[in-house]
Amino acid sequence: MDIQTIGIVGAGQMGNGIAHVMALAGYDVKLTDVSDDALRKAIEIIDGNLERQVKREKISAEDKAAAMGRIQTTTTLSDLGPSDLIIEAATERETVKQAIFEDLIPHLKPETILTSNTSSISITRLASRTDRPEKFMGFHFMNPVPVMQLVELIRGIATNEETFKACAEVVEKLNKTAASAEDFPAFIVNRILMPMINEAVYTLYEGVGSVKSIDSSMKLGANHPMGPLELADFIGLDTCLAIMNVLHDGLADTKYRPCPLLTKYVEAGWLGRKTQRGFYDYRGDEPVPTR
């Protein structure tokens, strides 16, 4: 299948990043969200990020203008119906994703490929609630999308080879690298990354080290570009907790039990950078550890 048009559901951090790279690669993009404000903000962010690439001479001003011209926005989900490929990038809640697919299905072309940017939810289970499990797969981008080079492609039990190849060709056109992952909880990256972050929270919870000492140790001792607690704040503590719960429920192994301190921060609404407080307080000029 020759993919030309791409529909993206959700204009948040992941959705606007996916729209950015798809439009820059030459695809016609239709971005939808339930909120007009979210769509306006997404276009502003895409414009700003593309301008940053122009200033760094990664792309030309003409490239930016062409990319912006390829992006349309709508609050009507059914407007995505004619798309060749749809990428769902809504909130990481299975009931929300299922409702989106159920609303979309009556408006799709028979050949449209459906995908989800989920970071942990079963692709097989999501696919089973649609009319095209053979044309459904996981299309998991890393955050921030314009910068990160990896895309996880996850086949459900019914995904056919044509669907996989079509999505792999899209990744190649984006000049990114595809990693094929089996459909097990959290796939590859988060299966490894989230337990490390959770263990860092346990290390804090048990008083082995402070926020600053834990992050400094991993940056200077393991050559990580960000400390695990700093990274958790960047990802969102609610997302980290959701993925740990998927791992714990899906694999039934106590090593994936979310740290009680992580749960407490989420219950407090301290979700990281997006709420200005998490393991660090971001309300001042410099982030300050909250513990």
15 is in an annotated binding site: yes
19 is in an annotated binding site: no
The pLDDT of 12-23, averaged and rounded, is 96
pLDDT at 120: 86
- The first and second tokens of residue 206, run together, are 């048990």
Cβ within 8 Å of residue 134, ≥6 positions away: 158, 159, 160, 163
175 flagged as catalytic: no
DSSP state of 275: G
pLDDT at 93: 87
Would you call 154 exposed, middle or buried from its count of C-beta atoms within 10 A (0-12, 13-18, 19+)?
buried
DSSP state of 11: -
- Within 10 Å of residue 137's Cβ, how many Cβ atoms? 26
Specify the CATH number for the domain of residue 269.
Answer: 1.10.1040.10
120 flagged as catalytic: no
When pLDDT is cut at 50, 70 and 90, the band that residue 112 belongs to is very high
Q: What integer best gives the mean pLDDT of the chain?
A: 97
Domain end (from 153, 182, 211): 182
152 flagged as catalytic: yes
Instruction: Give the C-alpha distances (Å, rounded to integers) separating 285 from 213, 271, 272, 276, 288.
Output: 21, 19, 16, 12, 9
Residues 178 and 202 in one domain: no
Residues 172 and 77 in one domain: yes
Number of domains into which the chain is organized:
2
Residue with tokens 């791992």, as numbered in its chain: 247
DSSP state of 16: H
**Percentage with pLDDT > 70 across the chain:** 100
Query: Using alpha carbons only, how large is the chain's radius of gyration in Å?
Result: 19
- pTM attached to this predicted model: 0.91
Q: Express the helix, strand and coil content of the chain in percent, nearest 5 each.
A: 50, 15, 35
When pLDDT is cut at 50, 70 and 90, the band that residue 1 belongs to is confident
- Dihedral of CA atoms 204, 269, 8, 122 in degrees, nearest 10, equals 60
pLDDT digits (tens, 9 = 90+) for 251-269: 999 999 999 999 999 999 9
Alpha-carbon distance of 33 to 8, in angstroms, equals: 9
Q: Looking at 119, 120, 122, 198, which residue is catalytic?
A: 119
pLDDT digits (tens, 9 = 90+) for 19-60: 999 999 999 999 999 999 999 999 999 999 999 999 999 999
Residues 213 and 265 in one domain: yes
Can you say how many angstroms the Cα of residue 237 is from the centroid of all Cα atoms in its chain? Answer: 14
Specify the CATH number for the domain of residue 93.
Answer: 3.40.50.720
The one-letter amino acid at 168 = A
pLDDT digits (tens, 9 = 90+) for 127-172: 999 999 999 999 999 999 999 999 999 999 999 999 999 999 999 9
Q: Looking at 88, 117, 140, 230, which residue is catalytic?
A: 140
Domain end (from 182, 217, 235): 182
Domain end (from 117, 152, 182): 182
Residues 45 and 168 in one domain: yes
Q: Looking at 116, 122, 190, 198, which residue is catalytic?
A: 190
The pLDDT of 207-217, averaged and rounded, is 98
The pLDDT of 117-133, averaged and rounded, is 95
Alpha-carbon distance of 244 to 230, in angstroms, equals: 17
pLDDT digits (tens, 9 = 90+) for 35-44: 999 999 999 9
The one-letter amino acid at 281 = D
